[in-house]
Amino acid sequence: MNEIYRAKLNDEYRLVIPAACRKRLGLRSGQEMLIKVTERGLEMTTYDLALKRFQEEVQALVPADVSLVDELIAERRVEAAKEASE
């Protein structure tokens, strides 16, 4: 997946993504893209791919037997109980 493509900016500084890239990533006209400026240049991805990558990173940090949702609900119940007793 580390293929390199050439693209050119037009007179309006718009970049046309080569058809092979659009097809491979399933890009659609009007779809929003995320662009990140780094020391190496621009990194461009779709919102869906960025979200998937983020979810995978979080999942790698949380043990399989831990439910963040259950922990959050438990914390909220404790907070609600404190508020009710005040």
9-43 tens-digit pLDDT:
999 999 989 999 999 889 999 999 999 999 999 99
Residue at 9 is within a domain: no
Residue at 77 is within a domain: yes
Determine which helix (DSSP H) or strand (DSSP E) holds 49, and give its type and residue range.
Answer: helix 47-61
- Report pLDDT for 14: 92
Domain that holds residue 23: 19-85
Residue-averaged pLDDT of the chain: 91
Residue at 3 is within a domain: no
Residue at 25 is within a domain: yes
- Report pLDDT for 73: 96
Structural domain count, the chain: 1
Residue at 60 is within a domain: yes
Residue at 67 is within a domain: yes
Question: What b/e readout covers 48-75, taking b as 16+ CB neighbours within 10 angstroms?
Answer: eeeeeeeeeeeeeeeeeeeeeeeeeeee
